[in-house]
Amino acid sequence: MGRVTGRLVIWRSTDGGASWRQATATADVANRTLRATVRPDGVLLIQAGISAAEQPMMFASTDGGRSLRSVPLGPGADARPVPGGYVQTGWPDSRGAWLSADGVTWSWIDPPEPS
Which residues face 108 on adjacent strands?
A: 98
Supply the pLDDT for residue 51: 86
CA pair distance 42, 24, nearest whole angstrom: 18
Structural domain containing residue 31: 7-109
- Residue 2 DSSP SS3: strand
- Note whether residue 50 is domain-resident: yes
- Note whether residue 104 is domain-resident: yes
- Note whether residue 103 is domain-resident: yes
- Note whether residue 77 is domain-resident: yes
- Note whether residue 74 is domain-resident: yes
- Note whether residue 42 is domain-resident: yes
- What is the per-residue pLDDT across 41-74, written as a single tens digit (0 to 9) for each? 999 999 999 888 999 999 999 999 999 999 999 9
Q: Report how many domains make up the chain.
A: 1
Q: What is the 3-state secondary structure (H, E, C) of 3-49?
A: EECCEEECEECCCCCCCCEECCCCCECCCCCEEEEECCCCCEEEEEC
Q: What is the pTM of this model?
A: 0.85
CA pair distance 4, 2, nearest whole angstrom: 7
CA pair distance 48, 101, nearest whole angstrom: 24
pLDDT at 113 over 90: no
- Residue 54 DSSP SS3: helix
